[in-house]
Amino acid sequence: MTRRVLVLVGVLVAGCASTGQVSLGEVREFADASARLGGYAELSRRYRDTYERELPYLSPQAERVARDTDARRRAVFDDFIAIQKTLVLYMQTLSSLAGDGRYDMSGRIDDLGSGLKAMTDSGLQQRHVAAYTGMTRLLTRVITSRYQNRSVDTMVRDGNADVQTLIDAMIVLTRIYEKANENERKTVLGLFSAEIPMANRNTDRMLVTLAKVHLQNKTAEYKLIDRRYKLAQQGLTKVALGHQKMRENMDKLSSEETRHMLAGYVHDLNLIRDALSGE
């Protein structure tokens, strides 16, 4: 009898051990690093506030056009942020699934809100909106089921297409932010490069000096921000790529190669996050 019990325990332990061999540590770390990646939200806010920064440099006629554009930027800002919030919640939930402890994320379900408010107006393409809807549905299902049949595999498999589409939307938007910022830089700095050489009278000297100091400061500001667009795009690309690779290698997560690959993405994402937060 005792021997039978021991054999049974042995079988159970062996069973547990074989499940335990599938290390989800790298999955958790990748999801954590993806959720913590900064840049996009900050650059979205910067894009939204373009008008305020440009205002002192605009002629009345240009200001009228700018004001109209400002209203349109503000109208869609919440939608642009909603995409990022959804992706972050997805990564946090994935991290919880891959973790050892018990998590209750039902409070976070409110963060999903009621979908993209300005769907028809929003510039997101139909596939972006569909991906957002699909993602929120998946998250609601995973979170409210309290991880019954918890499965990283299912979540990554079901979520991958939408993750890719949402990140694609974020990259496209970040590129547009970058272009708008470039145009803003030329609006601001261009005024000085034309006005300073024309102000060559003795009485202009003080004004020209002050203008040159201001120009120096603004040039430095734009140089710093330029780098952040690149970093944000790099980070998003890494998240997309890492998730795609995870999806492709779901059946061999415990292999040394897959774990090494995921660890590589985590390393890169941490470097990018450090670079974004260190400036």
Partner 1 sequence: MATSSHSNPDQASGDADTTLPSATPRQEAASSLPNKPPTPDAIVTTVTPGMPPAAADAHDVDSAARANALSNMQCVVDLADSVVCIADDLHERILQEIAGYNDRTMPDAQKALMRALTDDERLLRQYAHALYADAATFVIQDLKEPQHRLMALTAEAAEKIRRIGVIGEVTGLVGGILLLVGSIARGQFSQVGAALEKIQLHNATLKTLKPGSPAKT
Instruction: Map tokens 């937060």 to a residue.
Output: 277
CA-nearest of 177, 175, 243 to 33 is 243
Distance CA 231, CA 33 (A): 15
**From candidates 34, 50, 84, 93, binder to partner 1 by CB under 8 A:** 50
263 lines the binding site for partner 1 (CB under 8 A) = no
**CB proximity list for 128: less than 8 A, separation 6 or greater:** 83, 165, 166, 168, 169
49 lines the binding site for partner 1 (CB under 8 A) = no
75 lines the binding site for partner 1 (CB under 8 A) = yes
205 lines the binding site for partner 1 (CB under 8 A) = no
Distance CA 239, CA 261 (A): 13
Residue 114 is encoded by which pair of tokens? 């009621």
Residue 169 is encoded by which pair of tokens? 């939307």
218 lines the binding site for partner 1 (CB under 8 A) = no
73 lines the binding site for partner 1 (CB under 8 A) = yes
| Interacting positions 121-140 with partner 1 (CB under 8 A) | 121-123, 125-127
203 lines the binding site for partner 1 (CB under 8 A) = no
- Report which secondary-structure segment, H or E, holds 215: helix 205-248
Stretch that binds partner 1, among 26-34, 102-110, 144-152, 192-200 (CB under 8 A): 192-200
CA-nearest of 83, 71, 76 to 113 is 83
Distance CA 104, CA 88 (A): 16
Cβ atoms within 10 Å, residue 22: 13
Distance CA 256, CA 260 (A): 6
Q: How far is the CB of 146 from partner 1 (least distance, A)?
A: 32
219 lines the binding site for partner 1 (CB under 8 A) = yes
**From candidates 173, 262, 269, 276, binder to partner 1 by CB under 8 A:** 173
146 lines the binding site for partner 1 (CB under 8 A) = no
Q: Pick the closer one to partner 1 by CB: 105 or 236.
A: 236
Q: Pick the closer one to partner 1 by CB: 221 or 251.
A: 221
Distance CA 89, CA 162 (A): 13
Instruction: Report DSSP state, residue 101.
Output: S
38 lines the binding site for partner 1 (CB under 8 A) = no
**From candidates 3, 4, 102, 201, binder to partner 1 by CB under 8 A:** 201
Per-residue CA distances from 273 to 38, 84, 136, 239, 266 (Å): 6, 16, 26, 12, 10
57 lines the binding site for partner 1 (CB under 8 A) = yes
**From candidates 41, 81, 189, 275, binder to partner 1 by CB under 8 A:** 189
58 lines the binding site for partner 1 (CB under 8 A) = yes
Q: Which residues bind partner 1 (CB under 8 A)?
A: 50, 57-59, 61-62, 65-66, 68-69, 72-73, 75-76, 80, 121-123, 125-127, 161, 164-165, 167-168, 171-173, 175-176, 178-180, 182-187, 189-191, 193-195, 197-198, 200-201, 219, 222-223, 226, 229-230, 233-234, 237-238, 240-241, 244-245
